[in-house]
Amino acid sequence: MDLKEIIKPENLVYKRTECLTDKTLSYCPGCGHGTVHRLVMETVDELGIQSDVIGVASVGCSVLAYDFMDIDMTQSPHGRATAVATGIKRCWPDKFVFTYQGDGDLAAIGTGETIHACNRGENITIIFINNGIYGMTGGQMAPTTLLGMKSSTTPYGREVELMGNPIKITELVAQLAGTYFVSRQSVHTPGNVRKAKKAIKTAFENQKLKKGLSLVEIVSNCNSGWKMTPVESNKWMEENMFPFYPLGDIKVEGQLVQK
C-alpha cells in the first residue's frame, strides 16, 4: 500500500482541529503544552467563537502560542498576562478572552496580577500550566517546585529552610470572591484529557455568564527540565506531583467543592 491509498477520508481517525495552525509545535516531544493547545482550540471550534476570542500568550515555553493558534492574540510581558487580559476584556466585554500561562509566569513574577484579576472577578479564562519548573529558561526552580525536587537552581533538591515552600496558588485563588470556577486537571492519559477538555470548555462557557473568573490548572510534565523520558516524567508526575497538587474541581459555580 502506498501513501495515496492510506490518505483517504474514510481512513481518517484523527485530525488537527480547525483553529490549530499547520505550524510545527516548538515544544519538546512528550511535553503537555501541545495537548493543552489542542484542547483550548477544540473548545474554540466547538463553541464556534473563533471570531470572538482573543488570547494572551505569556512568557515561558508557550510564548509562541500565537503561532499555533489561528485566532487573534497578543503576547504579554512576563507575569502580566491577566492584566493584559483585563485591558482587553474591559474594552471588549462581549469577547472571550483567555490567558495561557506557566507556573513561573502566573505564580511567581505575576502573583500580584493573578490574585487581583481573580479577586476583581474579571470575566476571563486562565489556562495555567503547572510543570513545577521554569521550562523555557532551562529548568530553574519555580514557585511550584516540590520539596526535594531537583532543578538547575536547586541541584541538591528544594529545601524548605533555604528556598521556602511550593505554592498552591490555585487553592489560594479559589478562596477569592471573584473566582467562579477553579479546577485542576492533567493531560497525560486519554481519560484525563477528556476531563481536562470538559473543564476548559466550562471555563470558556462561563464567560457568557459574567459571574467571575474561571481558572483551569493543568498539572503537566516538563520532561526536558526534569531530565526524564516522557514516559518516566508522566509516572513521576503521578507519584509526586498529584499527591501535592490533587486533581479535580476546586470551585464550581462560585462554591468551593467540599471534599
Tell me which residues touch other proteins (CB under 8 A).
50-54, 56-57, 63-64, 66, 69-77, 80, 83-92, 95, 112-113, 116
Return the axis-axis angle of helices 111-120 and 81-91, rounded to nearest 10°.
30
Q: Which stretch binds ligand TPP (CB under 6 A): 34-42, 60-68, 151-159, 251-259?
A: 60-68
Nearest approach, Cβ of residue 80 and ligand SF4 (Å): 20
Closest Cα to residue 57, out of 26, 14, 28? 26
- Map residues 78-117 to x or -, x wherever contact with ligand TPP holds by CB under 6 A: x-----------------------xxxx------------
The yes or no reply on residue 144 touching ligand SF4 (CB under 6 A) is no
Q: Which residues lie closer than 8 Å to 153 by C-beta, 6 or more apart?
A: 140, 141
* Residues 186-215 within binding reach of ligand SF4 (CB under 6 A): none
Cβ–Cβ < 8 Å for 110, 128: no
Q: How far is the CB of 102 from other proteins (least distance, A)?
A: 16
**Burial 126-144, CB ≥16 within 10 A → b, else e:** bbbbbbbbbbbeebbbbbb
Site string for ligand TPP, 119-148 (x = CB under 6 A): ----------x-x-xxxxx----x------
Name the pairing type of β-strands 140-141 and 133-134.
Answer: antiparallel
Task: Decide if residue 60 touches ligand TPP (CB under 6 A).
Answer: yes
Cα of first residue to Cα of last residue in the chain, in angstroms, is 55
Least separation in angstroms between CB 211 and ligand TPP: 28
Question: 179 or 220, CB closer to ligand SF4?
Answer: 220
For 167, which DSSP code? -
